[in-house]
């Protein structure tokens, strides 16, 4: 394998396109980046690896299992085991700017911008204000200017619970400032069914068509601005809209996919956090230990909850917890209220802050042609997901859930 130095990175030629000014070097050094060229419609764009076995893995749900064992003990294999590495897909034109943004994480306080100050967005803003003590600033934007004025005034009048702990400032944004940030949180929605209008269907999926069209202009703006941060999709249906944002941002003026927009890892769906919280809540009420709970899949139909990942897996208990978490929003609606407090805090504020801090969090991440919910984190080397052995019955459930997401026609 041939190695090159470029902008403080070591690039390993593995079939990808090298930057013009890359200079050959004799030995690899950290940070090491393998360059590949893979189908951008089906493949990840930037991810971290800890063994050479992960370099050639097929895309898909098997990425949640431990990587295959490779009995290779070359100098390169030992280097990757010791230092880790990144894999960058040069089919995406912006791979290097996004790689640089990942590498710079933690060097400065992140700035987040929030679009949409409805029920979920307003709750998210409150959570970010109180919990985001490590944020530089929270920008807010809504088509209703009075909503912005209200939240700017009220949230900047909130005192810190700890003396000397400064809370982030809230600032109203102009539309052309939305992507001047490290993370854009999108909570806006055009179609949230009123209480009593559920008709027995999945309330979240009722919103897809209208909310996808709402997202179109923002995906285009992310592309046009050269955005290198995170696009945090929060409005429903989270998983399908995350894939839609990725695809829309990569369409040229003719509507063709060209790979010049967001990388798959720049888009993350934040809907699974509340399902995790609901599973813990239900487990407590049913006397089920919550320490080994696992949560996978979409924020809605297709959700998979397990009482344990492998040893101790109980199919009946897991399906009971899944049903309770999957229908918890309907229970709140039956009380006469829209269920937005727990989603705004658990799925959005808490999970996004964990993501920005490089901690494990619940999110929908790109696995092949679907965004699939799992435990994941963002590192300086790229994105990664929790990998562990699964009980065969659990893996079958997870695989079926992912297959249904893959079959959904995003349009």
The count of other CB atoms within 10 Å of the CB of residue 408 is: 17
Angle at 42 between CA 80 and CA 263, to 5 degrees: 70
Beta carbons of 347 and 234 less than 8 angstroms apart: yes
**pLDDT surpassing 80 at residue 204:** no
CATH number of 272-407: 3.90.110.10
Domains 111-269 and 272-407 share a fold: no
**pLDDT surpassing 80 at residue 132:** yes
Q: What is the mean pLDDT of residues 227-252?
A: 97
Beta carbons of 405 and 371 less than 8 angstroms apart: yes
Beta carbons of 133 and 109 less than 8 angstroms apart: no
Report pLDDT for 203: 55
CATH number of 111-269: 3.40.50.720
Local confidence band at 336 (pLDDT 50, 70, 90 cut-offs): very high
Task: Could you list the beta-strand ranges (E) of 154-312.
Answer: 169-172, 183-186, 230-233, 267-269, 294-296, 304-306
Q: Which of helix, strand or coil describes residue 231?
A: strand
Six token digits for residue 149 = 């004025």
Local confidence band at 197 (pLDDT 50, 70, 90 cut-offs): low
Report pLDDT for 193: 62
Residue found by looking up tokens 């999108």 in the block: 186
Beta carbons of 394 and 318 less than 8 angstroms apart: yes
Six token digits for residue 311 = 């040893």
Question: Using CA atoms, how far apart are residues 226 and 207, in angstroms rounded to an integer?
Answer: 28
Local confidence band at 106 (pLDDT 50, 70, 90 cut-offs): confident
Report pLDDT for 164: 72
**What is the tens place of the pLDDT at every residue in 353-405?**
999 999 999 999 999 999 999 999 999 999 999 999 999 999 999 999 999 99
**What is the tens place of the pLDDT at every residue in 242-281?**
999 999 999 999 999 999 999 999 999 999 999 999 999 9
Report pLDDT for 375: 98
Average pLDDT, the chain: 95
The count of other CB atoms within 10 Å of the CB of residue 183 is: 20
Please give the DSSP secondary-structure letter assigned to residue 24: E
Q: Does 193 or 363 have the greater pLDDT score?
A: 363
Task: Give the residue extent of every domain in the chain.
Answer: 3-91, 111-269, 272-407
Report pLDDT for 249: 98
Q: Could you tell me whether strands 23-25 and 3-6 are parallel, antiparallel, or unpaired per DSSP bridges?
A: antiparallel
**What is the tens place of the pLDDT at every residue in 49-94?**
999 999 999 999 999 999 988 877 899 999 999 999 999 999 999 9
């Amino acid at each position: 394998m041939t190695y090159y130095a470029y902008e403080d990175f070591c690039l390993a030629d593995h079939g990808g396109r090298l930057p013009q000014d890359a200079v050959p070097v004799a030995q690899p050094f950290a940070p090491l980046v393998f360059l590949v060229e893979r189908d951008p419609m089906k493949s990840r764009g930037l991810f971290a690896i800890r063994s050479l076995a992960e370099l050639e893995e097929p895309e898909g749900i098997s990425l949640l299992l431990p990587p295959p064992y490779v009995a290779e003990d070359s100098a390169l294999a030992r280097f990757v085991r010791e230092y880790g590495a990144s894999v960058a897909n040069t089919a995406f034109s912006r791979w290097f700017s996004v790689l640089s943004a990942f590498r710079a994480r933690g060097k400065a306080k992140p700035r987040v911008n929030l679009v949409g100050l409805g029920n979920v967005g307003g709750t998210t803003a409150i959570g970010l204000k109180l919990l985001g003590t490590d944020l530089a600033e929270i920008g807010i934007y809504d088509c209703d200017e009075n909503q912005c004025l209200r939240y700017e005034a009220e949230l900047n009048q909130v005192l810190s619970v700890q003396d000397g702990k400064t809370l982030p400032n809230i600032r109203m944004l102009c539309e052309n400032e939305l992507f001047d940030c490290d993370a854009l949180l999108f909570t806006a929605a055009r179609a949230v069914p009123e209480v009593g209008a559920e008709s027995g269907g999945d309330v979240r999926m009722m919103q897809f068509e209208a909310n996808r069209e709402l997202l179109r202009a923002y995906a285009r703006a992310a592309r046009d601005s050269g955005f290198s941060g995170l696009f945090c999709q929060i409005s429903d249906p989270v998983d399908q809209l995350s894939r839609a944002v990725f695809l829309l941002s990569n369409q040229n003026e003719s509507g063709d996919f060209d790979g010049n927009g967001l990388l798959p890892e720049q888009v993350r769906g934040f809907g699974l956090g509340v399902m995790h919280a609901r599973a813990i809540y239900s487990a407590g009420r049913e006397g089920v230990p919550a320490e080994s709970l696992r949560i996978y899949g979409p924020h809605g139909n297709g959700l998979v909850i397990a009482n344990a990942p492998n040893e101790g897996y109980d199919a009946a208990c897991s399906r009971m917890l899944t049903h309770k978490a999957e229908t918890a929003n309907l229970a709140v609606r039956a009380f006469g209220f829209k269920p937005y407090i727990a989603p705004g805090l658990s799925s959005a504020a808490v999970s996004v802050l964990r993501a920005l801090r490089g901690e494990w969090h619940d999110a929908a991440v790109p696995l092949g042609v679907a965004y699939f919910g799992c435990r994941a984190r963002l590192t300086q080397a790229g994105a990664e997901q929790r990998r562990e052995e699964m009980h065969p019955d659990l893996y079958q459930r997870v695989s079926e859930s992912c297959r249904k997401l893959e079959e959904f026609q995003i349009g």
